Structure 1
Amino acid sequence: MQTLPRVLCIAAVAAASCCCLAPSAPAADSAKHVVVVSLDGLAAYLVDDPKVPLPTIRRLAREGAIVDGGMIPSNPSVTWPNHTTLVTGVRPEKHGVMANGVLVRGPIGVPTTIDSRRDQSDLVRIPTIVDAAHAAGLSTAEINWPCTRGSKSLDDQFPDVPDALLHSTPRLRKELVELGLLVDETDASFRKLSTVGRDYVWTEAACHLIRDRKPNLTLIHLLNVDSVHHQRGPQTPEGYTANAYADMCLARIVAAIDEAGIRDQTTLIVLSDHGFTRTPEAIRPNVVLRQAGLLTAEAGKIREAQVHVVPEGGIGLVYCTNPGEATEQAEAFKKMFVGLEGVADVVLPDGFAEIGLLHPREYNQSPDAVLVAADGYSVSGSVDGETLVASNTEAKTALGSHGFVSTLPKMKALCVLSGAGIRSGVQLPTVENIDIAPTIAKLLELKYPYSDGKPLTAALE
């Protein structure tokens, strides 16, 4: 439960946002365009791997600017929180997205769940750069961008949610069918596509919008690299193939910008949300909690729990279901797990500020502790088995993972800027992804007062 001052603070921010981003805000330069392409899971270190065929990305980096060594993501280093950071310029402690959905705490004894079927208004606590662009009279579009469902600031959208087509712009759905990119307008047929097939549809949908509508701000999110890295691991033959396909999709988007005749007015920002590491082993904290009598399971699922762990790749969000006992139980959890194989740390709420999370008394979705896995281990949510450590196959976890604390070097994300307004041949030192939203604002001449980041001025002409 949020305290009254916290609720009043959030209400004040919301009121301020309505004022600052009202439709009467000064119009930005409608001749300028920014296209942001997120290649989910394409780690920064892959750019320097000679086995990875990335001709388009490397050419754009030579012609423009690259964050040398990579961009630091937010915690947790997973997809929805970081895509939200990219368009708000703040970490989850402020924008509120901590997982790929809303973390829903139940009553005492009921485990916390993740609800992905939510609108932007349920997920994101502050206005985004898209909201600012729309308020300034600019045209906007997104393809598969997380946490945008139900947005009133997008002229065209195809959001990253379950039942994506149901929540897509009707005119865009119809056009994609007419173009032969979709069999029909139903999610049932779209879900039958492979991850490669979906990336193809999303890429061609983006190209269509760029050629026909020329949005001032376009957000594009492709997923195949992330999917393959999870299944096969990064820096594998399958991973290299996925990297090459992502680069080919990017080349199609660059060609669409040329075909639209807006190349000289367009800035292209190519990035990823997080890096990747191989995780051939996993830790199963819920097995240990089951053995300690702190949760019960039935048919492989948690039935009741005093304490349980929600996995987020390289970390686990620890929830204590009885608020009156949460502090003591979190401390006991730390004593139970610190020093065990595969466990790098357990962070209690008094240390959350250091990793960019809010204390649970300030934000209901925040966990009561964070379990941090060692590199090479992922966190499993499984309740089956008898040992803490298991192979990834036994634990039913991915061979490749992200979600680790963002200071792990392998979590650094790709970031390349090229085109209008970008200096050529620039190598930027490591930056945080909170700097992307203010950079977009600078390029489009938008007023955006919410960001904690700064524009990447060293890359700007």
Structure 2
Amino acid sequence: MIVSKMRALRAPRPLDCVFASVIAMLWTASAHPAESQRPTHMLVVSIDGLAWSRLATQLPRLPTLRALVENGASGPLQTVFPSMTWAAHAALATGLNPAGNGVLGNRFYDRAADDVVETWQRDATLLRAPAVWQVAKRHGWTTAALLWPQTSRAAGLDWQVPEVYGQRNLETQSTPGLLGQLQAQAGLPVGHLGKLAGEEMFLLDSWARDAAVWLIEQKRPKLLLLHFLSVDTLSHSWGPAAIEPRWGLELVDRYLGEVLVAYQRAGVREKLGVCIVSDHGFLELTEAFSPWEALQAAPLKPAERGLIRFAINGQAIFVSTRGPPVLQPPPEQGKPTKAKPAKGKALKLSPAESALVKLRTHLLKQPQVEGIIEQDQYAELGLGSLQADPNLPEFIAILRPDVLSIQGSRPAPKGKLTAGGHGYLATHAPLLGAFVLSGPGARKAAVQGMRAIDVAPTLARLAGWQWPQPTDGAVKSEALAIP
């Protein structure tokens, strides 16, 4: 039986009352800090696409986030490369760069399947390393995740609805029976959740908020991961400087406050550690570029053109060839070596090598292309090596940070754009995300140099968990009031 949509709607509450109660609880929870105290419960919230610059400038209009910032540790957070949602969330959860956790971006070319894969298409997590929910579970915590990437059928989660697209995928990849409970007991619409997930807007964030409130009050997970998406969607559509993303963040701030009220009703607010993160900041995009159009214009033979595969991750265009990967010669004394033909003979290239050489040369002539990342640079960017992971590309073309990359075979629109995006190098200042940690065991401090890969080990130290293997990240002790 499909429950009426009206049951999911709540009676309106005066905003001032909600915010005032939230702020009062936040101050109360932080008024009696014990340096040796650890949280008994933890809430990790990802606000997708929240740039540190936006949070810093908009904070006066965000009473819930402002109270958390004023009573805890906070600072800019450097994401991973490519600066994409799925790669970043994998790093946040595992403490590892893409080379270690297995999530190379939002898209990658699967050589074995000869298919450009969007990571959310897989019906099970791609993570190949322990995630924070698994570590928590090993230490006796109950765990839940709502719309968090890479949680489809993930081990270590008691309750989860993953971030996937399509109604059937949500029904088959969520915890068995959970959607039915959310419909029957919380009055949430689940029959068209796939449509809401595809829109990634306010209605999906509203659904996530109400699902979180129900989970907190009915299941009381000790660890809850929650993902809000509308700020990212609005920033893509209108550009990060527009008023629409600002409105979106103000609504998410209200929703976060209502989630914290649920912890108060559950009687665990004063024992709750709250961590707010984001996966990346945002870039203003003013011009478009189509890799497919560039490939058609490049001087490749038809057979060579048929070997090329693009996996587009924002400004990072992964360029691969079908078949075995074409490996770059190993570096010699820090510099890549170049194959040389025997005296008097021309160097004979394979069709794949020829295609890559021609396309690389052509792309570098395009004004929208800033440069090429070669294989010998992958390790320093956290991508490892093509020898170790054949799903990495032969090279990565980097667009200028103001250029939108067009997926598929659509032509690039002409003229000036107004849009937002990400994918560019993680050190670029507009792409810095946000980190906030508040509650028992958190120190009031401005944290510098926080990275996505530092979040999981820092949370583990806060909770007293032993991480089962080395991580690329480190504990940010300046955020903690415990040893």
Q: Tell me which interval the TM-score lies in, with the shorter structure as reference length.
A: 0.7 to 0.9
Q: Confirm or deny: 8 A CA contact 1:166 1:187 kept in the other structure.
A: no
Structure 1 residue aligned with 2:347: none
Q: Confirm or deny: 8 A CA contact 1:283 1:390 kept in the other structure.
A: no
Structure 1 residue aligned with 2:129: 126
Structure 1 residue aligned with 2:93: 87
After superposition, the C-alpha distances for 1:73-101 in whole angstroms (9 at most, x for unaligned) are: 01111111111100100100111101336
Structure 2 residue aligned with 1:361: 387
Question: How far did residue 232 of structure 1 move?
Answer: 0.7
Secondary structure of the 1:112 match is strand
Measure, in 1, the Cα distance between the counterparts of 2:77 and 2:457. 15
Q: Confirm or deny: 8 A CA contact 1:210 1:257 kept in the other structure.
A: yes
Secondary structure of the 1:164 match is helix
Distance 1:253 1:101, change over 3 A: farther
How large is the Cα RMSD of the aligned pairs? 2.7
> Which deviates further from its counterpart, 45-54 or 264-273?
45-54
Matches within 5 A, 1:327-366: 329-366=355-392
TM-score by length of 2: 0.79
Structure 2 residue aligned with 1:141: 144
- Opposite residue 169 of structure 1, the aligned amino acid is T
Structure 1 residue aligned with 2:471: 451
- Opposite residue 458 of structure 2, the aligned amino acid is T
Q: Confirm or deny: 8 A CA contact 1:360 1:368 kept in the other structure.
A: yes
After superposition, the C-alpha distances for 1:230-278 in whole angstroms (9 at most, x for unaligned) are: 1111121111111111111111122122222112211100010011111
Listed as ranges, the gaps of 5+ residues in structure 1 are 1-28, 298-302
Matches within 5 A, 1:257-272: 257-272=263-278
1:434 is the counterpart of 2:453: yes
Question: How far did residue 294 of structure 1 move?
Answer: 4.2
Distance 1:373 1:295, change over 3 A: farther
State which structure, 1 or 2, has the greater radius of gyration over its C-alpha atoms: 2
Structure 2 residue aligned with 1:17: none
Measure, in 2, the Cα distance between the counterparts of 1:332 and 1:142. 46
Structure 2 residue aligned with 1:405: 425
Q: Confirm or deny: 8 A CA contact 1:439 1:454 kept in the other structure.
A: yes
Percent of counterpart pairs with the same letter? 28
Structure 1 residue aligned with 2:81: 75
Structure 2 residue aligned with 1:165: 171
- Opposite residue 149 of structure 1, the aligned amino acid is S
- Opposite residue 408 of structure 1, the aligned amino acid is H
> Which deviates further from its counterpart, 270-279 or 46-55?
46-55
Aligned length: 416
1:116 to 120, 123, 128: 120
Measure, in 2, the Cα distance between the counterparts of 1:189 and 1:242. 19
Secondary structure of the 1:318 match is strand
Q: Confirm or deny: 8 A CA contact 1:331 1:348 kept in the other structure.
A: no
Question: How far did residue 337 of structure 1 move?
Answer: 2.1
Question: How far did residue 315 of structure 1 move?
Answer: 1.3
Structure 1 residue aligned with 2:5: none
TM-score by length of 1: 0.83
Measure, in 2, the Cα distance between the counterparts of 1:71 and 1:30. 23
Question: How far did residue 188 of structure 1 move?
Answer: 5.2
Q: Confirm or deny: 8 A CA contact 1:103 1:115 kept in the other structure.
A: no
After superposition, the C-alpha distances for 1:383-408 in whole angstroms (9 at most, x for unaligned) are: 354xx884476xxxx81101111111
1:241 is the counterpart of 2:242: no
Measure, in 1, the Cα distance between the counterparts of 2:276 and 2:40. 17
Question: How far did residue 175 of structure 1 move?
Answer: 2.4
Distance 1:37 1:223, change over 3 A: same
Q: Confirm or deny: 8 A CA contact 1:341 1:389 kept in the other structure.
A: no
Structure 1 residue aligned with 2:16: none
Question: How far did residue 335 of structure 1 move?
Answer: 2.5
Q: Confirm or deny: 8 A CA contact 1:53 1:243 kept in the other structure.
A: no
Distance 1:328 1:228, change over 3 A: same
1:208 is the counterpart of 2:214: yes
Measure, in 1, the Cα distance between the counterparts of 2:171 and 2:196. 8
Structure 2 residue aligned with 1:10: none
Structure 2 residue aligned with 1:65: 73
- Opposite residue 117 of structure 1, the aligned amino acid is Q
Distance 1:181 1:343, change over 3 A: farther
